[in-house]
Amino acid sequence: MNKLEERLGPVGTDILLEAIGAIERETDLRIRVIEQAPRGGDIAGYENARLKIDGEEYYAEVKAWAQQAPLGVLIDRVRRFPAGILVADYVNPRMADRLRTEGVQFMDAAGNAYIRTPFHHVQIKGNRRRERETQGAGPRKHKGFTIAGLKVTYTFLCNPELVRAPYRDIAEIAGVALGTVTNVMDDLQAAGFLLITDNERRLVHADAVLETWVERYPTALRPKQGLGTFTAQGMDWWQNFPIEDFDGYWGGELAGAHYTGYLRPVVATAYVPKEQLNKLIARARLRKQALPILEPGTVELLAPFWRPNRDFGLYVHPILAYADLIATGDPRNLEVARKLYDEKIAQRLG
């Protein structure tokens, strides 16, 4: 096993080398791997590499099964770097258009690409994924990021000291079975994200754990919590609405605006217990949408998945607000999400 495969694993290495070969065949570009960037573990399903394209350095996010990841997550990750590029197994035409519109450069193993250097402007879409790449069972299902596992991992991200608590206490706080906690702890330890010694348990590489949680939450846990989308009588109906009377919390854009002061919310997201749903709908005079479309004026209601608390008043934890914003893929929300991460989350991760 060479150093590249040691760093990226066989899947990541194949994707990177196939993408480089495909783009070099399709264009005059010359691409070289100059360094594998350090990253804790492989739990996120991707690894990083530093590339030189046309003499320019790029920080690459190498992503397997890219189409199964929320697009907002991919855009946010690539935009973190001054010269970022997504290297994927496959980017379909619709995804290619969206990435290009957002100014996100990419290349894939099928030869599709959007790359701008001082000497070349490459734009290729429509190449089909090769049959070999469609085979296989997909990304490994880490127990720390199954539906129940996401609840446990979220609890750790919000309260890192809880990893040292008895398993029964963790299960009660996260609202999962005791066996789930055991599986999650074993999985996080095997992936290098939980350090266990004779005297303590400690979460490490919490930033990478958060990235994986934010990637999996919109497709695994969040849909299970959905209570419906509605239309309110006015855009600002929520400003004086007593969400606490319904044991609810503001999330999404409302929480992002609260934490950063940098957003004019157009979609209202609230987490409210299912048993309070009808009362809230009647009090707020919401109308059920025939089709769930998150357009200006939409109200999105979800059930909480954590033990109720008022640590952040009427709002969800900044980590959940961050995940909600990223999940939308909206450029203005991604900007606010990055600001929220820098101001309220990074220091919590240690």
Q: Give the end of a domain, one of 187, 216, 245.
A: 216
CATH number of the domain at 204, please. 1.10.10.10
Kindly report the number of other CB atoms within 10 A of residue 118's CB atom. 8
What are the two backbone dihedrals, phi and then psi, of residue 270, each rounded to the nearest 5 degrees? -135, 140
Query: Measured between alpha carbons, how far is 293 from 332 in angstroms, rounded to an integer?
Result: 18
* Structure confidence at residue 134 (pLDDT): 41
Count of residues for the chain?
Answer: 350
DSSP 8-state secondary structure symbol assigned to residue 37: P
* Structure confidence at residue 14 (pLDDT): 86
Domain range for residue 293?
A: 223-349
What are the two backbone dihedrals, phi and then psi, of residue 83, each rounded to the nearest 5 degrees? -135, 80
17 with 108, same domain: the answer is yes
229 with 291, same domain: the answer is yes
Label residues 195-230 b or e (16+ Cβ within 10 Å = b): eeeeeebebebbebbbbbbbbbbbebbbeeeebebb
Burial of 249 (0-12, 13-18, 19+ CB in 10 A): buried
Q: Give the end of a domain, one of 172, 191, 216.
A: 216
Burial of 259 (0-12, 13-18, 19+ CB in 10 A): buried
175 with 95, same domain: the answer is no
Q: How many domains does the chain have?
A: 3
Q: Give the end of a domain, one of 134, 160, 182.
A: 134
160 with 206, same domain: the answer is yes
170 with 230, same domain: the answer is no
108 with 179, same domain: the answer is no
Give, for 300, the enclosing helix (H) or strand (E): strand 298-302
Query: Measured between alpha carbons, how far is 123 from 126 in angstroms, rounded to an integer?
Result: 10
User: Strand (E) positions, 216-297?
Assistant: 226-231, 249-251, 268-271, 287-288
* Structure confidence at residue 141 (pLDDT): 55
* Structure confidence at residue 136 (pLDDT): 44
257 with 287, same domain: the answer is yes
12 with 130, same domain: the answer is yes
Averages of pLDDT over runs of 10 residues in the chain (350 residues) are: 60 87 90 68 54 90 82 87 90 92 93 90 86 47 79 95 95 94 92 85 89 90 95 91 97 97 94 97 94 84 96 97 94 93 87
* Structure confidence at residue 44 (pLDDT): 44
341 with 303, same domain: the answer is yes
